[in-house]
Chain A
Amino acid sequence: MEILMCIVAGLLFAAAVYLMLSKSLLRIIVGTGLLSHGTHLMLLTMGGLKTGAAPVLGEHAASYTDPVPQALILTAIVISFGVTALFLVIAYRAYQELGTDNMDQLKGTEADD
């Protein structure tokens, strides 16, 4: 199971890298979304996918899954959510102010402004 998850996370990373190397800003942001999905999936896999009950004490099970990676992922998800929201708003503002979403045209020096 871990091997399958690693391959899927790897595919997500590949897709993310491909998208982030493209010219359109929105594609880049979609790439960062996929990158964080891959990261979180990887974090879950790294903790081990042993079978066990959900980490809730009321389950009265013999063994539970590891609760630590789940807490880490929950933290990482809200952080990447916040960053993505800020990134999207800045991309929107940049589109309004600079009139382009093409990364090739976002070049130049201070003297151009």
Chain B
Amino acid sequence: MINLPVLPILIPLIAAIVLLFVSKSVLAQRVVSVIASASTVVSALILMAKVKSDGIQTVDMGSWPAPFGITLVSDMLSILLVLTASIITLCVVLYSFRSIGNGRERFYYYPIVQFLLLGVNGSFTTGDIFNLFVFFEIMLMSSYVLIVIGSTKIQLRESIKYILVNVISSAIFVIAVGFLYSVTGSLNMAHISARISEISTEPIITVLAVLFLIVFGLKGAIFPLYFWLPGSYAAPPAPILALFGSLLTKVGIYAILRTYTLFFYHDQPFTHDLMSLLALLTIVAGVIGALAYRDVKQILIYNIIIAVGVLLFGIATMTEESIAGTLFYLIHDMIVKAALFLLGGIIIYIAGTSNLTKMGGLIRQYPALGWTFLLASFALAGIPPLSGFTGKLLIVRAGFSEGEYVGSIVVLLSSLAVLYSVVNLFMEAFWKTPETPLPDVKKQTGSLFIPAAVLVLLSVLYGVGTEAVYPYVMQAVDTLIHPEIYIDAVLKE
């Protein structure tokens, strides 16, 4: 099974193609989607066990040796993220059965979700910088369709802005790859890394580092480049929003993490100080948004931006401890954001509005939903036994030991703001006495609630079982801190 790293990319691809042929039978769509998503999760689990026991797995496509062909590289970081993305997609697909609606289901919703997973898993796994661009485009094309599917007025309006921003960032990505090719003469990421370390004093490398930060910052919504996100993410329905919020921006963060640990670690005083500053401004911008809105979707959307800022600060600190914290927080944030958006979708479905001032009193009829939401909120803020704690603890501790006092304090204060914003959401939606009393008839939410509850449960287990996850994360950190391991595994010297 030397081709194991291909499976998390191949299964969604085949599933998506099969689904295109059975688009009019909703039942077949659902069955095939669930089977495909579940087998993606299983293949990712098998691959993770393989990476754990045997180290980095690489596949040279077409048996061309490493710098000349496209190489797929599954190190611990990429397989952890692939596994998380596949689990989230499975839960979102299950959630979609009830919530997405027959019209969208018949018009290629499920195949597009599979294509999105294909793009995300491919981006995490590829070892070739231009191939990364192609997988980005697969992911973005699917997201264009998902954001506009159903074509309500708000979706049409916001999709135009979303597509425009991403077309521009893709163009900058191609230019950056062109520059990198003219400087290093290679497209294989390990080979580029080796070439850059030979010419690391050249200022052009720093220019390229900033160019890549702009590109991935546009995808991942960091400070001056996050302007497109709040409007665009508010447009699509809840399951699509959960996919976007938990996967798309995190792929940008992954790309920053990968390029800045593999290519651009030579001129740290400039690039990492810049990143640190942008991270803090991102947190501040997110906090302002999360506190300002009285709308379920917008509060959760601005919490994405805060998390992106925290992750970027962890990358900018660039010690073993802070990278470990970043990975813990990255996986936690993917799971818990998906859970929160799914739960938020149920709240909006029950209340019939996303405006907090018009809600209230849901706890009487939906106690399970309420307490699950509160649990997910606490996990998001990083209350100790839950999942957000370890990551933030490591990031803050690394920040203090590197003398980044302002940054670490801002990260700590941001947790307070996160907690305030989500608990305020909880109080308004569940405790407050509503202006118009709720109808006595309870809406059926069981099939919506279960996938979301599974994600919350996973996040709780992830928090409680940190000891069990720790060796996996540390193996990923080891590869990131020592790029030689990655280079040797790919180029097989």
Contacts and interface: CB of A to CB of B under 8 A. Distances in A.
Interface string B140-153: 01001100100111
B159 interface: yes
B160 interface: yes
B178 A46 contact: yes
Contact of B130 (A35, A75, A91): A75
B178 A97 contact: no
Interface string B322-334: 0000000000000
Interface in A28-43: 28, 32, 35-36, 38-40, 42-43
Given A35-B171, A43-B175, A97 B153 contact: yes
B174 A20 contact: no
B156 A39 contact: no
Contacts of B354: 110
A86 interface: yes
A42 B172 CA distance: 11
A52 interface: no
A83 interface: yes
A36 B168 CA distance: 9
A79 B131 CA distance: 13
Interface string A39-83: 110110011100000000000000000001100100110011011
Given A20-B164, A90-B163, A106 B157 contact: yes
B181 A69 contact: yes
A43 B174 contact: yes
A82 to B, nearest CB: 7
Contact of A83 (B154, B161, B167): B167
Contacts of B164: 20, 28, 32, 87
A11 interface: no
B167 A35 contact: yes
Contacts of A8: none
Contacts, number: 96
B234 A90 contact: no
Interface string B103-139: 0000000000000000000000000001001100100
A113 interface: yes
A7 interface: no
A94 B160 contact: yes
A90 B160 contact: yes
B187 interface: yes
Nearest to A36: B171
Could you say which interface size class chain A belongs to?
A: 35 or more
A91 B187 CA distance: 35
Contacts of A93: 151, 156
B1 to A, nearest CB: 29
B63 interface: no
Given A28-B164, A110-B234, A76 B174 contact: yes
Contacts of B181: 46-47, 68-69, 72
B179 interface: yes
Contacts of B477: none
B156 A94 contact: yes
A42 B151 contact: no
Contacts of A113: 152-154
Among B152, B161, B181, max chain A CB count under 10 A is at B181
A42 B178 contact: yes
B227 to A, nearest CB: 14
A72 to B, nearest CB: 6
Contacts of B133: 76
Nearest to B148: A90
B156 A90 contact: yes
B174 A83 contact: no
Contacts of B160: 25, 87, 90-91, 94, 106
Contacts of B182: 46-48
Contacts of A83: 137, 141, 144, 163, 167, 170
Contact of B163 (A38, A79, A87): A87
11 contacts: A39-B171, A43-B175, A75-B134, A76-B133, A80-B167, A83-B141, A83-B144, A86-B145, A93-B156, A113-B152, A113-B154
Given A69-B178, A83-B167, 16 more contacts: A40-B174, A46-B178, A46-B181, A46-B182, A47-B181, A68-B187, A72-B130, A75-B134, A76-B174, A80-B170, A83-B137, A83-B141, A83-B163, A90-B144, A110-B154, A110-B234
Interface of A: 20, 25, 28, 32, 35-36, 38-40, 42-43, 46-48, 68-69, 72, 75-76, 79-80, 82-83, 86-87, 90-91, 93-94, 97-98, 106, 108, 110-111, 113
